[in-house]
A and B are shown apart, each in its own frame.
Chain A
């Protein structure tokens, strides 16, 4: 079945970096963009950006530019998001989700299980 499986929870100190992975299975990895969305405790969904696994093209939300890096390894059907300069308000659940982009942009039809990132001294 189609699924996105994310790496496990992380605890980081302020100023550090974190890298979360998202492994795709059950479909052709390069056919769908991978989006990254985070959710702080008790808050709504916040879009971080996307990566096109086929070309490596990326688009980051303005808020995260300069601090986020999205990459992929097509040989293992895995996407990554790395966030640097962590602050306490980066504490959140980080989700990956896939989006079909054919003619136009579509919605996020499959989501990963989420990765909890806690930033604490």
Chain B
């Protein structure tokens, strides 16, 4: 079965750039999606189709996807960005999630 791998945790200082990666076999041939989840809340999509931002998501969130790695970049990270981040892709008609990355700011 298809797997997506994320580093469990990342810590950055306010104002720095946070780079969260998601690895999977030929992931660049698929579309990657990213979700932010804060404690006690439902997940929120922050990036879709590799690099697009849904309405209402700040410009500091960006994404890319190539080869075996999708990347979520948060520029000028703020305290409110502290959350768990999950990548997601489709394998045929099945959803696959990464294990999540806990971002500490």
A81 to B: closest C-beta gap in Å: 14
Tell me the smallest distance from the CB of A19 to a CB of chain B, in Å: 20
A95 touches B48 (CB 8 A): no
> Is there an interface contact between B100 and A114, defined as CB atoms closer than 8 Å?
no
State whether A113 and B42 are in contact (beta carbons under 8 Å apart), knowing that A44-B100, A107-B48 are contacts in the complex.
Answer: yes
Give residues 52-84 of A contacting B (CB, 8 Å).
Answer: 59, 61-62
How many residues in B have their beta carbons less than 8 Å from beta carbons of A?
A: 24
Whole-angstrom distance between the alpha carbons of A44 and B85 in the complex? 10
Q: A107-B33, A107-B88, A108-B35 are in contact. Are A47 and B42 (CB under 8 A)?
A: no
Q: Compute how far the CA of A87 lies from the CA of B44 in the bound complex, rounded to whole angstroms.
A: 29
- Does A50 belong to the interface (CB within 8 Å)? yes
Helix, strand, loop or mixed for chain A's interface? strand
State which of B18-26, B74-82, B89-97 sits at the interface with chain A.
B89-97
Interface residues of B (CB under 8 A from A): 1, 31, 33, 35, 37, 42-45, 48-49, 54, 84, 86, 88, 90, 93-100
A-B contact sample (11 more), CB < 8 A, given A37-B97, A106-B48: A44-B97, A44-B99, A45-B35, A45-B97, A47-B94, A62-B1, A104-B31, A108-B88, A109-B48, A111-B44, A113-B42
